[in-house]
Structure 1
Amino acid sequence: MIAPPCIEYLSSNPNNHITIVDYPNSTCAITLDVSDSTALDKQIAAHDLVISLIPYTYHPAVIQSALKSSTPRRHSINISPPIRVLFSVIKKAGITVLSKVGVDPRVGHFCVVKKIDEVRKFYPYCGGLPTPGNAGNPLGFKFSWSPHGTLLSQRNSARFLKDGVVVEIPSEQWMGSAGPYYVKNGYDFLTGHRSTFIPAIKSLLDFPNEAESQRIISGLQWMGILSSEKAKIVGGNLLATLCGESDLVRLEHKFVVEWDDGKTETFTSTLELLGDPDGYSTMSKAVVVTSGLATQLLLDGHPALSRLGVWAPYEKEICDLIRGVKGDEGVLRNFQQVQ
């Protein structure tokens, strides 16, 4: 679902020959079970580079296979503990694993590195949702391609720096730490800033009026939480994104800048992308166009991306390079900055 924009971008270079796994409309398509290590090894060894856009739990298996044939690879997810343990092995094998090249925190990284020497504080927020007109259920959310991955991500822990102190939130407390965050145009999101689960529940149960109370209770009824009847799924998952609908990617950065005279100012950069109901989703464009750009730079042997080992867009040389090309492709042109 998210691969086509990346394929389209890379196909524009006549020097690239692409094999797509499990993509029935392509003449170069193959069907491959990633758990079949023998078949996986054979296909990866036959290519110069592999892009892994499958659920993140399978990435370590792809890396292990790439190590056998010294095939560079890139993916768009965070560097997980199973990948971290392979750092020294990957570098010794002489291959490049490029990670975190997508929308969040990847697009965020490109912009943060540009400002990092100027800022005192930085607050990044990003979310992928259906557009308000297509969020026709009480959750206001739909699974676009991997419900399992979406739910599994809620088991991740969090670690960030706040006011000079490292804050850590264990995975079992992550959902309970969520709180509302308002951005312009009336959007209201939940972010990880509540301290315990109990205050969050009290807040949710403290309905401002009867109409809001009925709205939430109706939503619980819609989800079947108040019923013992087994759900009947008609036409697939009721929360799945449907054809003809569009999605929304919303990213906001707040920079607190401290000048030489001690004066501080706050700048806000926002990115809002809408998908095409009859074309690509905005998540696919935001994630895999970036993947395609980084892949082409890697294939072209650009020095910034030709380092051995596991890399992510944290360094200025890498970020400036990808940000410049990505801006040319139009994704970053949608950024707006206000003071």
Structure 2
Amino acid sequence: MKKILILGAGLSSSTMIKYLLDHSEENKWQIVVGDMDLDLAAKKVNGHPNGKAIKFDINNENLRFVEIEQADVVISMLPAKMHPLVAVDCVKTGTHMITASYVSPDMKALDEEAKLKGVALLNELGVDPGIDHMSAMKIIDGIRAKGGKVLAFRSNTGGLVAPEYDNNPWNYKFTWNPRNVVLAGQGVSRFIRDGRYKYIPYHQLYRRLQTTTVLNYGEFEIYANRDSLSYRETYDLQDIPTMFRGTMRRPGYCEAWNVFVQLGATDDTYVVENSENMTYRDYINSFLKYDRVKPVEEKLCEYLNLERNGSVMKKLEWLGVFENKPVGMSNATPAQILQKLLEEKWTLEPGDKDMIVMQHQIDYELNGVKKEIISSMVIKGQDNTHTAMSITVGLPLAIATRLFMTGEIKAEGVHVPTKPFMYEPILKELEEYGIRFIEEEKDID
């Protein structure tokens, strides 16, 4: 039997593991799931005769090398910073590797050696990056095939709670790694619009918003992702005058989140003194000026020019940031304290379903006529295990793995799914699982 080694059994891996187990009998595969938490890995294997759970520690060099050497393909669901450790061993042992993460400089540096060894290192095969690349390139290549020229590319994605389960004033619940949500956008966001380069520093990011509507799901606000400019090379659109990628949230979220940004509550670079003896009210107060008399709420409103009974304060009060509830964390950074509070309030409840929303807006010119294509996708989760995030991250990975293992996709070296030989068969099968885009096209001035 050929062996597929999956490293990491977190939430986003559930749908992928099920797909590969479901296809294991006909293809004679053994699916080995490795995780620091052996019970979690065993739960994902769920007693399948072709599945095996192992305790896996990425920092155990001998274990890592042996397990990778025994596999035909490794799917890494580990944090992105750990992928190079896996990739180096894969190239050494002649084992192929597939991930959902961005191609890092370390990964890119392995391209030539991987080609010499006949090893495929397939990356960016999740939802964002992944489905975004594949769906966008299908449209872009279609425009080029007709003789058209792409003039503007805007693409936005959001992981949110499905409307039927949207029952808090933030209109948001965690659908992926909470830490990534807390730290999102730090640095400078870069894009180009009508030939002019634009830069948004972090302290302005949640003020400089755009809006869009998606199918019949209403309005969304958009903040810029950190690096839209690199996608000009990814999509071979080096001279395009407008290139923008963003993240979608429901209206009102960004204005309220900006409070934490302006306070410094998302900072992860220092430890808050005496945090184990703090309440959340103390935590918020620590960012405000000293005043013996004024309450925390009043000081915050004065500092950030908020209405005391406005929607932003109602969101903050609902979170519990003004409560005298112990933080209960020692040696914690501001970001870690904020994350703990949010996890108490923003976690999907049993029975909740999440939702992935993605939309491309592409302007192009053909035979002197300017047109716009709006391509939209909305996917809802099935339950708390097979979430929309798990489905849209895991299925492209699983399908790519099956296609590679069966020889329908052939590759060596470092690849992302921007070429037809990869994106066409993956998108075709994704449609069978209900992951499809609805396109609208119209002439524009």
Q: Is 1:318 matched up with 2:328? A: no
Deviation at residue 90 of structure 1 after TM alignment: 3.3
Of the structure 1 ranges 274-283 and 64-73, higher mean CA displacement relative to structure 2 is found in 274-283
What's the secondary structure of 2:137's corresponding residue? helix
Change (3 A) 1:48 1:159: farther
Structure with higher RCO (Cα < 8 A, 6+ apart): 1
Q: In structure 2, how many angstroms separate the alpha carbons of the residues matched to 1:169 and 1:88?
A: 36
Report matched runs for 1:114-263 at 5 Å: 114-116=138-140, 117=144, 118=148, 119-155=150-186, 158-164=189-195, 172=202, 175-176=205-206, 178-184=208-214, 185-192=217-224, 213-226=309-322, 229-231=325-327, 237-260=344-367, 262-263=368-369
Which one-letter code corresponds to 2:174 in the other structure? F
Q: Deviation per CA, 1:248-289, whole angstroms, max 9, x where unpaired?
A: 1111111213121x1112221111111123651111111111
What's the secondary structure of 2:209's corresponding residue? strand
- Give the root-mean-square deviation of aligned CA atoms: 3.2
Q: In structure 1, how many angstroms separate the alpha carbons of the residues matched to 2:177 and 2:213?
A: 27
Change (3 A) 1:17 1:70: same
Q: Is the 8 A contact 2:100 2:129 kept in 1?
A: no
What's the secondary structure of 1:33's corresponding residue? coil
Deviation at residue 62 of structure 1 after TM alignment: 1.7
Change (3 A) 1:7 1:227: closer
Of the structure 1 ranges 262-271 and 152-161, higher mean CA displacement relative to structure 2 is found in 152-161
Which one-letter code corresponds to 2:392 in the other structure? A
Q: In structure 2, how many angstroms separate the alpha carbons of the residues matched to 1:316 and 1:243?
A: 40
How many residues in Structure 1 have an aligned counterpart in Structure 2? 325
Deviation at residue 59 of structure 1 after TM alignment: 1.6
TM-score (norm 1): 0.83
Partner of 2:438: 335
- Aligned residue among 265, 274, 298 for 2:380: 274
TM-score (norm 2): 0.64
Which one-letter code corresponds to 2:89 in the other structure? S
Report matched runs for 1:17-28 at 5 Å: 17-22=30-35, 23-25=41-43, 26=45, 27=47, 28=52
Q: In structure 2, how many angstroms separate the alpha carbons of the residues matched to 1:173 and 1:217?
A: 19
Deviation at residue 82 of structure 1 after TM alignment: 3.4
- Aligned residue among 395, 406, 419 for 1:300: 406
What's the secondary structure of 1:293's corresponding residue? helix
Q: Deviation per CA, 1:145-176, whole angstroms, max 9, x where unpaired?
A: 42233445534655544334565667x56835
Q: Is the 8 A contact 2:319 2:345 kept in 1?
A: no
Which one-letter code corresponds to 2:374 in the other structure? T
Partner of 1:108: 132
The percentage of aligned residue pairs carrying the same residue is 24
Partner of 1:98: 122
Partner of 2:284: none
Deviation at residue 181 of structure 1 after TM alignment: 1.6
Q: Which runs of 5+ in 1 are unaligned?
A: none
Q: In structure 2, how many angstroms separate the alpha carbons of the residues matched to 1:214 and 1:168?
A: 30
Q: Which runs of 5+ in 2 are unaligned?
A: 1-10, 36-40, 227-253, 263-303, 329-339
What's the secondary structure of 2:42's corresponding residue? coil
Q: Is the 8 A contact 2:100 2:125 kept in 1?
A: yes
Change (3 A) 1:274 1:113: same
Change (3 A) 1:138 1:40: farther
